[in-house]
Structure 1
């Protein structure tokens, strides 16, 4: 989704930055009090001083962001009931820390072999002594969005760090993460949908609502994407088994390694039941396989 404004101005900058989200939210009947806080740009020498202080270089997209605005804060109120009371209010929020608040954090486990590996269906992050982690967004003390440098030779990536001290991959770069914020409409704690626990229950209001309910009301098309990855894998495996249940799996015949051939050999006609998956693909058309995993983040070992 793209939103481009021809006339260059301060308003058009934020409209492009939020990809037209305010105009979409204005049309929703239960949304009100849209608020955008404007920040001054950061001077080039201030950005260079921050990089020199922390010993890292900001990626180009994040550097351009801070050169245009020192942070981002866009909020709106959503009432999920007709009675517009404070208890029934959910605050949507898209936020990025200012450069001064892009602080380095500590307290994570150090490994001797830093990098990114696959742990089942998820990415496993290992940080080393040269790794550096910065807080990009604070998620109300239940987690944080972090900018992580595994070492100084690689560009940073975006991860969520929850209260259990575990990291979950979100995006390869800042631009992608910002688009994800807009795509999820800034619904509170949407980042937790990429963790093992999923979206948490709404904790700031004493009611029967949850963030999942907010997704159903505001963005029902997004909700199917918020299944746990383990559940998606299970469904894909079940569909695969149902579609190819009548096709036998390929197995290695140990007889091909023998030096002498059997004296009596009988030819068996090639029937449809004995077709291999590749042969079945040629006869019945292209087979449908489960969706492939997303591209794996970089691994410094390679």
Structure 2
């Protein structure tokens, strides 16, 4: 896997961050050019500012993620007839692009699922 980063790499954590997708892709026949681009860590004041602006507190594990890196972008390609073709992409946006789920949207569909739909009713 090719990595691009501006500081110390987080390679030991990539497998956990991507739920093993990187390992699976790298082991898959025909998959090529798996790249992982991490962004510089967010500063604590940026996280606090986001929480104040959005009126909510982020979970500690998410704060820790952003303190480790401010998002990432992973891509992969497949090899077809000796040519490499882009196939997939996985991105976690930086905290500056994070939107609060549940904030009043400008428009929603009447049947759009909500957070309550995700709760286990058993």
- Structure 1 and Structure 2 fold alike (TM over 0.5): yes
Cα drift, residue 60 of structure 1: 2.6
Could you say which structure has the higher strand fraction? 2
Pair 59,33 (structure 1): closer, same or farther in 2 beyond 3 Å:
same
Structure 1, residues 36-70: CA drift from partner, whole Å, max 9, x if none? 00212112221001111121211233222212110
Q: Secondary structure at the match of 2:77?
A: strand
Gaps of 5+ in 2: 1-8
Residue of structure 1 equivalent to 2:81: 83
Pair 25,51 (structure 1): closer, same or farther in 2 beyond 3 Å:
same
> How many correspondences in the alignment?
110
Query: 2-side partners of 1:44 and 1:66: how far apart?
Result: 9
Instruction: Please tell me whether the aligned partners of residues 78 and 92 of structure 1 are also in contact (alpha carbons under 8 angstroms).
Output: no
Query: 2-side partners of 1:42 and 1:23: how far apart?
Result: 26
Residue of structure 1 equivalent to 2:50: 50
Q: Secondary structure at the match of 1:70?
A: coil
- From the CA coordinates, give the structure whose radius of gyration is larger: 1
Query: 2-side partners of 1:31 and 1:109: how far apart?
Result: 38
Say whether 1:108 aligns with 2:90.
no
Alignment of 1:88-103 (within 5 A): 89-103=85-99
Query: 2-side partners of 1:16 and 1:95: how far apart?
Result: 15
Residue of structure 2 equivalent to 1:27: 27
Structure 1, residues 108-140: CA drift from partner, whole Å, max 9, x if none? 2499xxxxxxx8xxx843xxxxxxxxxxxxxxx
Structure 1, residues 60-95: CA drift from partner, whole Å, max 9, x if none? 33222212110121110124xx42446xx3421111
Structure 1, residues 226-264: CA drift from partner, whole Å, max 9, x if none? xxxxxxxxxxxxxxxxxxxxxxxxxxxxxxxxxxxxxxx
Q: Secondary structure at the match of 1:100?
A: helix
Query: 2-side partners of 1:33 and 1:46: how far apart?
Result: 33
**Relative contact order higher in (CA < 8 Å, ≥ 6 apart):** 2
* Structure 1 segments of 4+ aligned residues over 6 angstroms from their partners: none
Q: CA RMSD in A?
A: 3.2
Gaps of 5+ in 1: 1-8, 112-118, 126-156, 158-168, 173-294, 297-302
Query: 2-side partners of 1:33 and 1:22: how far apart?
Result: 11
